[in-house]
Amino acid sequence: MPISYRIRWAAALPRLLPTALAALVGVVAVSYLIDFLFNRGISHEGPLTRGLIFGPALAILLILQVRRNVLSLVPDAIEVARDAVVIGFRWVDFAGVTVENGKECLTFRQSFIRPGSTRKIPPMVERRLRKEGADRKIVIGNYLVDWQNSPVGDMVRQYSS
């Protein structure tokens, strides 16, 4: 039976705040444009009200989407479900623990990417994952604070020898 860990709030929020702010600004800007084009003038009540309603709603949807990122420990592999795909790393391909930008990463020689909630992997998603290096590493601190004293740490010790 797999052991699963959701992405931590501390890891998810810094990535989402700029996106949520951009969503709020975008909603307000589009609302002003619609008001200007169809009402032949600029009114502040409509766009600001729509921005205050739809901006936070978009932010909440984004937060819920990112919180669906899950790290799963299965018997012979570790998998990360994100962006409508599942990236799997076999423990026999484990290369070691590295530190990148002050964050510990589990690094693997190769991975397999399979569709998660969709039937096909969108090409843009696969390119982005490869460009980010997400097909070769897992930023383990995004999911576990004390990963060394967890089942993941046990597997790392087992396959590091």
Is residue 153 in some structural domain? yes
134 and 154 share one domain: yes
Provide mean pLDDT across the span 74-88. Answer: 88
Beta partners for residue 78, in sequence order: 73, 89
Answer with the one of 17, 43, 66 that is the final residue of a domain.
66
Residue 86 vs residues 40, 54, 134: alpha-carbon distances, Å: 49, 30, 11
81 and 116 share one domain: yes
Write the pLDDT tens digit of every residue in 112-149: 888 877 678 878 888 888 888 888 999 999 999 999 99
Q: How many domains does the chain have?
A: 2
Tell me what pLDDT residue 147 has. Answer: 93
Taken in order 63, 102, 72, 135, the sign of the CA dihedral is: positive
Alpha-carbon distance of 117 to 106, in angstroms, equals 25
* Beta strand pairing call for 94-100 and 3-6: unpaired
48 and 76 share one domain: no
Domain residues for the domain of 24 are: 7-66
Tell me what pLDDT residue 28 has. Answer: 78
118 and 149 share one domain: yes
